[in-house]
Each structure stands twice: as C-alpha cells, then as structure tokens.
Structure 1
C-alpha cells in the first residue's frame, strides 16, 4: 500500500515537471509579452520624464535669456582700460537710435545724441546726421563733371527709439547740408542725459565710435583719428568696414566726451567737435548755420606727402598754409585773380594751417557778422601767387549760405604768357572734349 502511494506521488511529480518543461508556446509568448509591455511602460515613463525635464530646461533658458543680466552678445566686448569703459557707459546714456520712412517705406537708420532738454515743456533735441532724411540716390547730373548732390526729404517720418524700448516721433527742426547734420525735437516724459562735447580732437588720437544696433544694443568700435589733406572733416580709421547703423553716432575720447559725429557710412569721415560746437552755437543763437562760400577747395601743406611738401618748400620757401586745389568757375576768388596752385596762409589776420582751422574760422566769421538781410560778407585773405612769386592781401566778398558748397571747377588747360589761360567752365571743357573726339 505504501509502495503504491510512493509510486503515485512520483508519477504526479514527474507529470508536473514534464508540464513545466513542455509548457505550450502560446503560454510562453504570453508571459514574455507581458514582460515586454511592462518594460515598454517603464521606458515610456522615463522618456516622458526626460522630455518634461528638457522642456522645463528650455523654458528656463528662454526666461533666462529675457533677463537683462543673462542677455547673450555674439560679439564680446572690446578689451579696454577701466577709464574707457566708464567713458563708454557714460556717453551711451545720451545715445539713441532713429529711423526714417517715406511713403511707408524705410529710408534710413542712424544714431543720435541728446544736446538739449527743456524741463518745462518736456521736450528734448537730438543731433544726428542729415543722411537720415537724405535721398538714397544723388540727383541727375547736368554734366559729367558735376559732383554728386542729393535731395533731402524734410517731410520724412522720423521715429526715435528710446532707451526704455519705447518710441516717439521726431520733428525736424533744421538741417544743414554742408556738414550734413540735423536737429530733431522729441516730446517725452522722461528726463534725458545730454552729451558732453570736447573742444578739440588730435590727429592720431585713440577714440571709440558708438552706435545703436536695430535692437538698441550698444555697438563699440575702436579706432584712431586720421587727417586727410583736402577735407575739413576727419576720418575714423579702423580695419573693418563700416556699417550703416554707425551714421550719426558719436566718436568719443576716453573721458566720454564727443570729439566728432560719424557722418559717412562705410567711408569713415566724421565732423569734428570744434565744427559741431560752432554749428550748435550758430543754430541756438540764430536758428540756422550760415557759412561763407569761398568757392575754393584746399589741401594743407602740413598734411601732404613729405616729398611733395619738401618740394614746395625748396621751390617757394613755404612750409605752411593751404594750397588751392580746386576753384569754382565764376567765383569771386577767380575774379580777383586767385588761381589753382596759389597758397593762402592768413584769413582776417589769423594764420591758417589746416582746413579744419579754416572751417572754424569761417563759422566764427558768421557768428560775429550775422545779418539775415545781408547774404554777403567781406573776408581778408593773404595769398601767395605761385606763378608770379607774389604775396598780397586782398579783400574777398563772398556769399554766405547754409546750403552745401559744391566746387564746380574752373579749368586752365593752356598757359598763356602771363602764366594762365582764360578760365573754362566744365561745360566748355566737355564741349571741347566732344569736338576733339569728333
């Protein structure tokens, strides 16, 4: 009996073992499938957590980028001494952006600086470049030797972009074409910081050009002041090409004072602070900026190539003054005998060595002799006639105007017995050239 029970127990155990080993494939797959589902759910849960963490991190990153303290700049700040950094931060508070439109279409962008603030009316005045309202293309020339002239759109809509990222309308008060500067009035609630202007700027001086990008970020360019022989403006010399958003921006020294206003997109010229100061004084006193038109264009001997300067000294024993490079046909200067190549070294009893000194002198003449009813002024000039080796002082009556002075050359292509031929206008030169070619 016991043997039978043991036998039955062994048989049941064996059958259970065989059933475990030979379990159906369907049951086996079902079990593995359940495991896979469980693992898949775990993976999905982990993936959701990862995605959620990624989205939260991205959201935090976006919020962080909106914070002023976390703003990202593509271009790192320039390496500069602490004094220069303080100068930049001080000058930047008076620097704003401007944009102009005409017929709903963009015309130009520029930077500008505050030069006046009236607490009672809550209105400020901005100084900027007249390029802001200047046509993009020059006027059609009457003949091929004419220099480029532009139309200024006084009716252009001007938007002033304030530092708190709000905007206001800019109303044109006045623009002066010769120096390409403009004044705009802006009504606003907040007080503004005015720019501080230096009296002079020196050749070779290290300076910084400030501008506002379209999003109002400050743009800083490092460079040096460079003079050129035949121009009243100076040049901001640096290696990279200039961009349009630099127009109207201040050139500052390391004390934070404005030494000039950048006024020539992509070329580098700027109006020096001494001229700007003279212009602002005239505008504040008389509402316009008049300037005597001599009808002459000069090169300063001191800025000529040394070989040319030495040659003039060796031949004429003169090492200072302004050489007449161009002269307008029919001008007063031409009528009294001044010719290309002559040297002028004194105006109204004051020695003149550079074209910048000349511009400052011309502005001071108008300041001292302003008369709205008289558009002429007498100027005393000491001139050395190189052909005759003769120095004399002459009185020159010239027109005064706030328009751009364009020197349309008088030509002396053939020398007569007295050293000069009759003057020829550009039209006559073109006519003769055409007849020769025929």
Structure 2
C-alpha cells in the first residue's frame, strides 16, 4: 500500500507516504521510473527491519501462483491462480504474462509467489486482465539502474505474438506448410521503424537466430540483456540476426538489421 500521485508519466510529486506492515506510516522517496515497464524504484527510510524476500527463477506458463496484497488495515490478502497460456500483443510491450485470477483490490504492484514462497513476479492491473512481469526482468532493471541510473533495451518497432501460444490447428498448419515450429508472428509494424524500412510486414514470422526464445517474456529478457552493451558505451545500436518467413509470398530470408536502443526512464531528483 503506497500513496503515489503523479501528474504525467514524466512529472512527479516526490512526496510519498508508505504504510509499513507494522501499520506505521513513514515517508518515502521516488528514485526512478521506467516508462517501458511501468515500474518505479523507491527509497524508504526508518527505524525498522524488513525481512529480505527470496527470489525464484522466473515464471512459467501453466504455473500455480499466489498474488499477494494488503488492504487498508494491512491485513494480508491472497489470490490463487495460474499463469495463462495467452499472448496479447495489443498491449504494445512484450514482458507481460496473464494471470487466471483477479488480483486483490489495491494489489497492483504486489508480489506473485510460488508454492515455496519465492517471489517470481509482480502483478499489475491491465486491460484486458491482470498481468505479471517476471522477477528476472525486474531484477535486471534494478541492477542496470544501480550501475548506470538508466535502463536500456533495443526497440524492435513491432508487436509480436508467439507461435508457441497459437492454437493447435494454426501451429500444425505452420509446421506442415512452412516448416515453422517456433518464432513470432508480426502483428504490427510501426511506421518509419527499421523493421518497416527493411521490408518486414504484418503476418510475417520471424525467428531470432542468436537466441532461441519462444515466448514474449523470454524475448524481453533477451532484448534487455543486450542493453548492457549500450549502457557501457560499447554500441548505440545492435545488429539482430533474424530469419523472416513471408507467408503471403511463400519465401524466407535471413537478414541482419540494426536496432536502436531506448532508455526512456525518469531519474528523479529532489
């Protein structure tokens, strides 16, 4: 339970009131906000001790999970569900996985844990339903911020949908007619993006040759890992090697295209 008011995504009121598990209220400070992931890093000071959580290795589709939250009286609330076998590329960003259960009221931004009590993700309220970002993505963002005060990832300029999460009949058709067993279907190509300029079109299937990721969260972790080179000043673009299957014209080609980085984040200072 955190009181945070902001005027826009880049303009913040920095004064926070944080209610602790022992029901005391203390002041906090917003250090950092990342626009792409919608996550914030807070600093809270006070004379109290908090238990350091244990972290899991990330989230898997079909996994049983528990979404945690606290109500206005700081009583713990729990919802039980699974990670659904769904993709929803209309969300514009790739890191989300869907929860089969509602999250408790006020639970947006709360932890998602496994049966052993390890934190494996963070839950958010999104349309069309509750979503989870893997703890592996969040921890990488925190590590980048601690070292560079920024978070960077290459921007593909595309909305994608994982072939692995298509229905069985569509997957069989792709396998039998085009010999495609993985990769991502291009749902949208942004205007004037590098992807558009090199000829990638809606309906193409692309396979990343340097990383055999098969789901959008796996792809997100891969793209985020490439941001280290940018932050260290080693490169301002990254050359991605992909195999593009043009289903409309029944051909495929291997291409390399330079993708720019983005570090659209807000470092907050008092």
Q: Give TM class, smaller chain.
A: 0.7 to 0.9
Q: Specify the alignment match of 2:2 in structure 1.
A: 98
What is the aligned counterpart of 2:247 among 382, 386, 399? Answer: 386
Q: Specify the alignment match of 2:100 in structure 1.
A: 237
Q: 1 CA distance for matches of 2:158 and 2:126?
A: 25
Q: 1:199 to 1:269 in 2, by over 3 A?
A: same
Q: 1 CA distance for matches of 2:11 and 2:24?
A: 25
Calculate the aligned-residue CA RMSD, in Å. 2.2
Q: Which has the larger radius of gyration?
A: 1
Does the 8 Å contact 1:247/1:265 carry over to 2?
no
Q: 1:262 to 1:189 in 2, by over 3 A?
A: same
Q: Specify the alignment match of 2:212 in structure 1.
A: 351
Q: Specify the alignment match of 1:432 in structure 2.
A: none
Does the 8 Å contact 2:56/2:135 carry over to 1?
yes
Superposition pairs for residues 48-63 of structure 1, below 5 Å? none
Does the 8 Å contact 1:244/1:265 carry over to 2?
no
Q: Specify the alignment match of 1:142 in structure 2.
A: none
Deviation of the 1:254 alpha carbon: 1.1
Q: Specify the alignment match of 1:311 in structure 2.
A: 173
| Higher RCO by CA contacts (8 Å cutoff, separation 6 or greater) | 2
Does the 8 Å contact 1:180/1:263 carry over to 2?
no
- 1:234-284 per-residue CA deviation (whole Å, 9 max, x = no partner) reads 11212xx44440111000001111111012257210111222232222222
SS of the aligned residue for 2:68 comes to strand
- 1:380-420 per-residue CA deviation (whole Å, 9 max, x = no partner) reads 2222222343333322222211339xxxxxxxxxxxxxxxx
Q: 2 CA distance for matches of 1:265 and 1:339?
A: 28
| TM-score, length basis structure 2 | 0.87
Q: 1:157 to 1:372 in 2, by over 3 A?
A: farther
Return the structure number with greater helix share: 1
| TM-score, length basis structure 1 | 0.55
Structure 2: unaligned runs, 5 residues or longer: 266-270
Identify the range of structure 1 (269-278 vs 205-214) with the bigger mean alpha-carbon deviation. Answer: 269-278
Return the structure number with greater strand share: 2
Task: Number of aligned residue pairs: give it.
Answer: 259
Superposition pairs for residues 405-424 of structure 1, below 5 Å? none
Does the 8 Å contact 1:242/1:265 carry over to 2?
no
Structure 1: unaligned runs, 5 residues or longer: 1-96, 102-132, 136-149, 405-438
